């Protein structure tokens, strides 16, 4: 049995580490932190550029936000920092509003991270993490697949050495890529393709090596030795001295905040679903529970800390979290070690990164993101449920069509999946029942069964009875009362009715009165307590209680059979 968590430990989750920090656990944390740092440094540089920030901002995002996410999260193996999907969403949301890389762009991009953090923090503090479950797994998977394609597409200019600034418009980027493909910068293309092949090869044949770090170091050295920059190759260039500072972020005007809010909500939702995916996988492997509301608080505070450090929005990285777990991380100390290692590396290696080719960063992104493209998940969703498949397909297409405003794609999928959910609620399954040979009452049409009594009809209603389907209930009762000649009682098998609202209650009252007008009786069996409680509060229970308390069909039919039979002719 798990020991109760004190209020202080709940408020400050990192206090729980004190009981877990054995010597072996600390060794595992240090080993994991250093291993993750080797991957986080080059990835941070790459993902910052994907988000439209200067490369060194990615190092800032791997420092304070990583520490805050570890201190206040519930899953100690999660690694917080820059990630591809959050970077892409940030760029897609801000690029239509400001020139990428400009001061205005940075202010707005930092602001959207702040808003997303406040949304996550608010949901966590109010214990409303369930809101994020509104986005179904097929819709999320479809969005990731479409976003992966767009991210890969966005890296082609750097891989080809295509001249010109990055355009927020997809059509303009397509033209730029087309011209770049016709006349690529061969040294850049060779460097990018070589790096990509090396990453794939190392992952396959030497998975224990930090492949990203090895490739970045080797390509940077090769670039410096061959005069890659002098031959027209694009490199990161001089990085400014490491001077991360804490300050309140610049808050845009109110009109701009309203403009950013929908995109900030999508960013909060998508980045947390990415976090939840990692946390669930880790929890399954370790057997340790995680708390979605506490993780919302941790990730929200991490985004707010990132905004105060004037850097890009962050999230939990699936790949780096898995690496944390694989290297034996036991507590959040691993993330503290990783952040410290990033700080030391940034101070010591900043001048050596001058010759790092942008094509290599593009290869790092392509290698990481291409693995997110899994069309089989969309086919699987369609095979399992056509509604889920339709929502997933629509999300995938809408994300591509709305690009670069890809947040509209996931909003489209969200609205469609909710609309389909309401549509399904409007059409609950209704069946007339007969006695099956196994002793249960089942769908008489499907199994070719007779009615259980010549003057009594049993109707099953599967679903909550509320305003969406109240008319459906009334139609079903009217159908049941004419299902065979001289029906005297309609028995509703109500085990599937797990809730009822005012409109549903009014439908029950109307049908009871309508049947009485025709000399018929409405009866119920299998009603749940929560439904009976609502009926009692309204007072309608008094009129149906004599024939509404049966627990199952057999009991009800035995009790109602004498009432259903017509009186004998004298």
Are 156 and 369 in contact by the 8 Å Cβ rule? The answer is no
pLDDT of 372: 82
pLDDT of 353: 81
Can you say whether the dihedral through the CA atoms of 354, 360, 364, 370 is positive or negative? Answer: positive
Out of 3.40.1180.10, 3.40.50.360, 3.40.50.10140, 3.30.750.24, which CATH number does the structure's domain 429-564 have?
A: 3.30.750.24
Give the model's confidence band at 4: pLDDT under 50 very low, under 70 low, under 90 confident, else very high.
Answer: low
Cβ density class 453-472: b for 16+ within 10 Å, e for less: bebbbbbbbebbbbebbbeb
What is the DSSP track for 445-485? Answer: HHHTPPPSBTTEEEEEEES-BSTTTHHHHHHHHHHHHTSST
pLDDT tens figures, 275-301: 988 888 888 888 888 889 999 999 999
CA distances from 273 to 137, 268, 279, 335 (A): 9, 9, 10, 20
Are 242 and 346 in contact by the 8 Å Cβ rule? The answer is yes
CA distances from 93 to 88, 110, 408, 411 (A): 9, 12, 10, 13
pLDDT of 568: 58
- Is the pLDDT reported for residue 1 higher than 50? no
pLDDT of 24: 85
- Is the pLDDT reported for residue 7 higher than 90? no
pLDDT of 242: 67
Q: Are strands 429-435 and 456-462 parallel, antiparallel or unpaired?
A: antiparallel
- In sequence order, what are the beta bridge partners of 316? 80
DSSP 54: -
d(CA 435, CA 534): 31
Rounded mean pLDDT, 89-96: 89
For the chain, where do the domains classified as CATH 3.30.750.24 start and end?
Answer: 429-564
- Contacting residues for 545 by C-beta, under 8 A, at least 6 apart: none
- Is the pLDDT reported for residue 17 higher than 90? no
Average pLDDT over the chain reads 88
Q: Give me the percent of the chain exceeding a pLDDT of 90.
A: 46
Can you say whether the dihedral through the CA atoms of 271, 276, 277, 283 is positive or negative? Answer: positive
d(CA 275, CA 265): 15
Report the greatest alpha carbon distance in the chain: 114
pLDDT tens figures, 322-350: 888 888 888 989 999 999 999 988 887 76
Which of 13-22, 133-142, 407-416, 537-546 is predicted with the least confidence, judged by mean pLDDT?
Answer: 13-22
């Amino acid at each position: 049995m798990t020991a109760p968590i004190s209020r202080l430990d709940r408020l400050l989750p990192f206090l729980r580490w004190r009981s877990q920090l054995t010597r072996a656990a600390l060794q595992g944390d240090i080993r994991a932190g250093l291993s993750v740092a080797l991957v986080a440094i080059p990835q941070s540089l790459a993902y910052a550029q994907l988000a439209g920030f200067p490369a060194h901002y990615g190092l800032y995002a791997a420092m304070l936000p990583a520490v805050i996410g570890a201190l206040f999260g519930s899953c100690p193996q999660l690694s917080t920092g820059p990630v591809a999907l959050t970077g892409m969403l940030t760029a897609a949301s801000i690029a239509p509003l400001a020139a990428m890389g400009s001061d205005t762009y940075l202010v707005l991009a930092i602001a959207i991270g702040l808003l997303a953090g406040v949304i996550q923090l608010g949901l966590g503090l109010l214990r409303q993490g369930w809101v994020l479950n509104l986005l179904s797994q097929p819709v999320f998977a479809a969005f990731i697949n479409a976003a992966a394609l767009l991210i890969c597409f966005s890296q082609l200019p750097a891989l080809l050495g295509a001249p010109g600034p990055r355009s927020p418009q997809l059509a303009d980027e397509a033209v730029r890529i087309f011209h770049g493909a016709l006349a690529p910068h061969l040294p850049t293309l060779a460097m990018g393709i070589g790096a990509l092949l090396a990453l794939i090869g190392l992952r396959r044949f030497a998975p224990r090596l930090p492949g990203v770090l090895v490739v970045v170091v080797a390509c940077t050295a090769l670039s410096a030795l061959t005069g890659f920059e002098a031959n027209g190759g694009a490199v990161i260039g001089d990085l400014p001295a490491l001077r991360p500072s804490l300050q309140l972020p610049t808050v845009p005007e109110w009109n701009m905040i309203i403009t950013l809010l929908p995109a900030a909500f999508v960013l909060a939702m998508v980045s947390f679903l990415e976090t939840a995916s990692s946390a669930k996988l880790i929890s399954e492997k370790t057997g340790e529970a995680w708390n979605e509301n506490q993780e919302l608080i941790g990730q929200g505070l991490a985004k707010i800390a990132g905004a105060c450090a004037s850097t890009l929005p962050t999230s939990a990285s699936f790949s780096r979290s898995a690496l944390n777990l694989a290297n034996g991380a036991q507590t959040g100390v691993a993330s503290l070690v990783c952040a410290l290692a990033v700080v030391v590396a940034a101070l010591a290696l900043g001048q050596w990164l001058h010759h790092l080719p942008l094509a290599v960063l593009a290869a790092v992104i392509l290698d990481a993101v291409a693995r997110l493209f899994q069309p089989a998940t969309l086919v699987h969703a369609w095979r399992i449920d056509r509604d889920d498949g339709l929502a997933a397909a629509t999300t995938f297409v809408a994300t591509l069509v709305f690009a670069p405003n890809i947040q509209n794609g996931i909003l489209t999928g969200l609205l469609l999946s909710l609309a389909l959910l309401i549509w399904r609620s409007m059409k609950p399954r209704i069946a007339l029942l007969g006695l099956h040979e196994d002793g249960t009452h089942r769908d008489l049409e499907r199994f070719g069964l007779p009615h259980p009594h010549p003057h009594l009809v049993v109707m099953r209603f599967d679903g909550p009875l509320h305003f969406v389907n109240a008319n459906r209930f009334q139609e079903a009762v009217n159908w049941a009362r004419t299902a065979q000649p001289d029906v005297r009682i309609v028995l509703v098998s109500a085990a599937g009715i797990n809730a009822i609202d005012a409109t549903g209650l009014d439908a029950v009252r109307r049908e009871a009165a309508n049947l009485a007008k025709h000399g018929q009786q409405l009866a119920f069996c299998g009603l749940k307590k929560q439904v009976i409680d609502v009926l009692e509060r309204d007072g309608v229970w008094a009129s149906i209680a004599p024939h509404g308390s049966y627990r199952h069909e057999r009991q009800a039919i035995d009790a109602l059979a004498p009432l259903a039979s017509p009186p004998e002719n004298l």
